[in-house]
Structure 1
Amino acid sequence: ERLGGVGTDVFELRPRIGMAGIAMAEKLPKRQTVLETVLTAAYGMTATWHEDYDPVDEERAKAFLDRLGMNDYLDRRFGTLSEGERKRTLIARAMMTDPELLLLDEPAAGLDLGGREDLVRRLGRLARDPYAPSMIMVTHHVEEIAPGFTHVLMIRQGKVLAAGPVEMELTSRNLSHCFGLPLVVERVGDRWTAHGLPLK
């Protein structure tokens, strides 16, 4: 389905898209537990009210959290989590509505090396799962591209510079054009790295 076309019903599309990003994190009450934070998504809420959650919803929330390495944090307050723990909780929350599309807005932003690598590993496993939703990830760092992500879209100042299979489009030339300085892109195994050229 083409978004933004004539006749697109945004309200119908919204529940089909799961979103995890900083904007959502700021709307969630810090006093809620991790489990409550994920459960509220089943009812389209950001905070608990007087809902009685079905046992099946609790099991699903726990399964998503377990998959993202958050099973030991179910009763922790959302506001006490580290940045990496918070990001993983948000991804579990975004999956509670069984979305067809999972949109990850800079999921590794603010993470240290260990947190980033843990998240990339988990996203790679999710991306390879045939039952997982399609995923789009916004990032400024090629090192954050998890194995299993197949395509890339490069945008500079609102214009598309490159789009297509990651192996064909994630090149030194395209990335240099995107960032406006000479860059070298390298592939090591199933991961990507980029670095600038030294100043002369």
Structure 2
Amino acid sequence: MDQNSGNSHGRVVAALHGVSMRRHTTGQVILDSLDWTVRAGEHWALLGPNGAGKTSVLRLVGATAFPTTGTVDVLGHRLGRVDVRELRARIGHVSTSQRVPGDLTGLTTVLTGHTGTVQPLWKSYGDEVRERAHGLLAELHVKELADRPYGVCSGGQRARILIARALMADPALLLLDEPFNALDLPSREDLVDTMRHLALNRAELSTVTVTHHVEELSPAIGHALLLREGRVLAAGPVGDVLTRERMTACFGRPIEVSRHGGRWLARSGGFG
């Protein structure tokens, strides 16, 4: 399967070639001979059972880990030959496990994305930076949270604030590590709408979303990568990857998959 189809002429944003990762202490194989390419404007979903290697892949393309063997190129630079601190500044990262002081307002939380810090560096935030932060809160439909403490925001509100924070650096690549974790249904749907909006309005932005549930994928997701035991089971256009046969092979039990209006549904059961 051609995993680059659908945007074959796009600029390569991230490329993994022959990548393997082993745990230093035990030698356990985490990733095994993985090949994968993300191009500008592509939106990928990473799916697989617990322990499949999803977080490790995200760490590689986020320049926070290095492969044991193989090569990783991100935004035109090869890991091991570039100052990863500068590279990380051009990559947006969103995770519900991110440490954000609860007393920071929504606006201040977004501002810290400009400096890549946990605590605000006030001297770095001029009028233009503040205007950009306000604009991102408005774009993600949470401008009313500018003065609200992060700690009292709902899970869905926090997720959108964190996305706004990640976008402060105007990244070419946005990585989302289980952003829907613990969200209720309305919050999930708000976040799905947000991801669709970003895809429509930022043509060159590439995203990679790690999730356990296909129901969380926005209609903007055009590609999917299935991982099982550290290996690529399938990668390519989402309609070719999220099939009954491949999902069943990936998760080790019968899974039925359907798609309605660009949204996905998966459930386990017989195929009678």
TM-score of the alignment, normalized to the shorter chain, above 0.5: yes
1:129 to partner: Cα distance:
2.2
The amino acid that maps onto 1:139 is T
Instruction: With a CA cutoff of 8 Å and minimum separation of 6, indicate the structure with the bigger relative contact order.
Output: 2
Structure 2: tracts of 5 or more residues without a match? 1-13, 16-71
The amino acid that maps onto 1:18 is G
Alpha-carbon distance in 2 for matches of 1:72, 1:61: 13
1:132 to partner: Cα distance:
5.3
1:12 correspondence with 2:77: no
- Secondary structure at the counterpart of residue 208 of structure 2: strand
Q: Deviations over 1:152-188 (max 9, x none)?
A: 0011221111100001111011111111110000010
Alpha-carbon distance in 2 for matches of 1:152, 1:52: 38
TM-score normalised according to structure 2 size: 0.69
Give 1:107's aligned residue.
179
Contact 1:142 1:194 in 2 (8 A): yes
Which has the larger share of helix?
1
Equivalent residue in structure 2 for 1:47, among 96, 109, 119: 119
- Secondary structure at the counterpart of residue 218 of structure 2: coil
Give 2:166's aligned residue.
94
Equivalent residue in structure 2 for 1:181, among 224, 246, 253: 253
Contact 2:256 2:271 in 1 (8 A): no
Contact 1:126 1:132 in 2 (8 A): no
- Secondary structure at the counterpart of residue 207 of structure 2: strand
Q: Deviations over 1:96-121 (max 9, x none)?
A: 01111000111111101111011101
Give 2:128's aligned residue.
56
1:194 correspondence with 2:236: no
Which has the larger share of strand?
2
TM-score normalised according to structure 1 size: 0.92
Alpha-carbon distance in 2 for matches of 1:130, 1:43: 22
Q: What's the % identity of the aligned pairs?
A: 43
> Structure 2 vs 1, CA of residues 16 and 50 (structure 1 numbering), >3 Å: closer, same or farther?
closer
Give 2:151's aligned residue.
79
Contact 1:17 1:102 in 2 (8 A): yes
Structure 1: tracts of 5 or more residues without a match? none
Q: Deviations over 1:130-168 (max 9, x none)?
A: 445211111111011111111100112211111000011
> Structure 2 vs 1, CA of residues 169 and 14 (structure 1 numbering), >3 Å: closer, same or farther?
same
| More off after superposition, 80-89 vs 127-136 | 127-136
Give 2:101's aligned residue.
29
How many equivalent residue pairs?
A: 198
Alpha-carbon distance in 2 for matches of 1:6, 1:82: 37
Computed over aligned residues only, the root mean square deviation of the Cα atoms, in angstroms, reads 1.9
